[in-house]
Amino acid sequence: MTLKRIVAIGAVIPALLTAGIVGAEQGRLAMQIDGKGPVVVLESGMGEARANWQSVVKALAPCFTVVTYDRYGIGESPPPANPDAPVLAADVADTLLSVLRARDLAGPYILVGHSLGGLYVQALARNHPEAAAGLVLVDASSPIEPEGVFVSTVPPKPGTIEAVEDAGVADSMVALRDGPELPPIPLVVIAATDHGDTQEREALWQEIQKATATLSPKGRVVVVDTGHFVQKERPEIVTDAVIDVAAEIGIDVSACRQ
């Protein structure tokens, strides 16, 4: 039987709390923990709640502890302490790591990030390499993107969590490019082909995704004919990528290959 726990937790390790990071005194993050085994963490895209991952969670729970959560200002989590401050990838990563450790969820983790969430898990892997066992990027933002090219034609509404997350993207990408390299861990980059964009921009997106896969010597790209939300349209693609990464690092995944 799959173990399922829904908990509200706060970031409680003071050493990891820096400017822009919300600690337990400002509120508690909503987190869902399913299954048992090595920990897989699923990070959602801009302004997106954890519900987007449910098909993936169901498939992985037989052999992993699968963690989904809502960042501050999203879903069932409270708003950030400073609702006007741009959200930086390094801060999201530090907060997530402190929360995982506070819940005694031992790493290293397989980190999975969709869209902007991919930037956040890359920050965690780069800044805390001891905590990252493998990485799956699901049609994710990349620090090697040309600045300002892949931005929405409709800016987020001011005052929303989407707006402050979007406001932190440029600085986060600079910090990732200037900071530590990605550790040499297994990396799967899942690249969607249909974003409703021009052929030229779709082709550029594919080039960037392929280049992102080269950031680790153990990286590879999987091209899938879907829209941006691969985890909803083709959840088995994401599931298979996680299982492959786990197998590469020596985890028994037989229960998830059935």
The pLDDT, as a whole number, for residue 148 is 74
pLDDT digits (tens, 9 = 90+) for 11-54: 332 222 222 233 333 348 999 999 999 999 999 999 999 999 99
H/E stretch holding 187: strand 187-192
Average of per-residue pLDDT across 212-238: 97
Q: What is the mean pLDDT of the chain?
A: 88
- Tell me the chain's radius of gyration from C-alpha atoms: 17
pLDDT in tens, 74-85: 999 999 989 999
Going by C-alpha positions, the residue among 123, 130, 112, 107 that lies closest to residue 189 is: 112
Residue 64 has pLDDT above 90, yes or no: yes
Supply the pLDDT for residue 247: 96
Axis crossing angle, helix 169-178 with helix 89-102, rounded to the nearest 10: 80
Question: Judging by DSSP bridges, how do beta strands 109-114 and 132-138 pair with one another?
Answer: parallel
d(CA 191, CA 205): 8
Pick the CATH number of 4-256 from 3.40.50.1820, 3.40.190.10, 3.40.50.720, 3.40.50.11540: 3.40.50.1820
Enumerate the domain spans of the chain: 4-256
Hey, CA dihedral for 127, 175, 213, 188, is it positive or negative?
positive
pLDDT digits (tens, 9 = 90+) for 113-137: 999 999 999 999 999 999 999 999 9
